[in-house]
Amino acid sequence: MAAMGRDGLINVAKASYKQAHILHEKLKEVGFESLNDKPFYNEFV
């Protein structure tokens, strides 16, 4: 993490958030259901 620096870590965090939300939406599109509608960062059930 030190090699990435502050900006690199921020970019990784933003990408993780974005990709988790994209996956969440795609899973719902094909019929999966969320167990709850609570906000999440990068992990969901």
| 8-31 pLDDT tens trace | 999 999 999 999 999 999 999 999
pLDDT of residue 2: 81
Distances (CA, A) of 29 to 7, 22, 32, 37, 43: 33, 11, 7, 15, 18
pLDDT (0 to 100) of residue 45: 83
What pLDDT was estimated at residue 44?
85
**Residue 42 in tokens:** 């990068």
Helix (H, G, I), strand (E, B) or coil at 19: helix
Domain map (residue ranges) of the chain:
1-35+41-45
In the prediction, which pLDDT does 37 show?
Answer: 86
pLDDT at 1 > cutoff 80 = no
Return the structure tokens found at 8. 């690199």
pLDDT value at residue 15 = 96
